[in-house]
Copies of this chain bind each other. A is one copy, B any other.
Amino acid sequence: MKISAQEEFGLRCLLQLARADATGELLTLAQIAGREGISVANAGKLMWILNKAGLVQSQRGIKGGYHLARPASEIHLNQVIRVLDGERVDSHCKSYAGVLDACVHTGDCGIRPVIVELHQIVDNALSEITLSQLLDTEANVDATLHQIQITKQRTEQRA
């Protein structure tokens, strides 16, 4: 139940675009990849997925790049995660029918609704968060870290 590498870096790239969105500038693959510490090829793959899903828009040719398809405040995390996850698999249980009487449909079983419910809980939690909210959180964390740095420096000065 942990976040996958594709989900994490895809989300990071979207946050890059969300920051750039304020100034209206486009970001190229090289810029995105460089800032995230991943290869241009990998960034291209992620952006292709996000583009196909309609979360970002691309401008081809020289002076091209990527930008968000919608305002950051209208992009919810459950949409992002669902897109980057590929096809959502509700259960790993295959051909379970017949083992228990509770199984009434081929490839289905009584426990599967439980798994589905878990995914819905996660989905609901993620649907409450937007990209712009993440940017706010990030800003607060940065301020906190900066404060820690200052406190640390003062402590060292006293010593």
Contact = CB atoms under 8 A, between A and B. Distances in A.
A28 B15 CA distance: 50
A144 to B, nearest CB: 9
A114 B7 CA distance: 13
B113 A5 contact: no
Nearest to A125: B121
Copies of this polypeptide in the complex: 2
A110 B145 contact: yes
Interface in A1-44: 1-5, 7-9, 11-12, 15, 34-37
Interface string A97-131: 00110101000001101110111011001100000
14 contacts: A1-B3, A1-B7, A1-B81, A1-B85, A1-B122, A8-B91, A8-B92, A9-B92, A12-B93, A37-B95, A104-B149, A110-B141, A114-B137, A117-B137
Given A1-B122, A3-B92, 15 more contacts: A1-B4, A1-B85, A1-B126, A2-B88, A2-B89, A2-B119, A3-B118, A12-B111, A15-B111, A36-B99, A104-B149, A110-B138, A113-B138, A118-B126, A121-B126
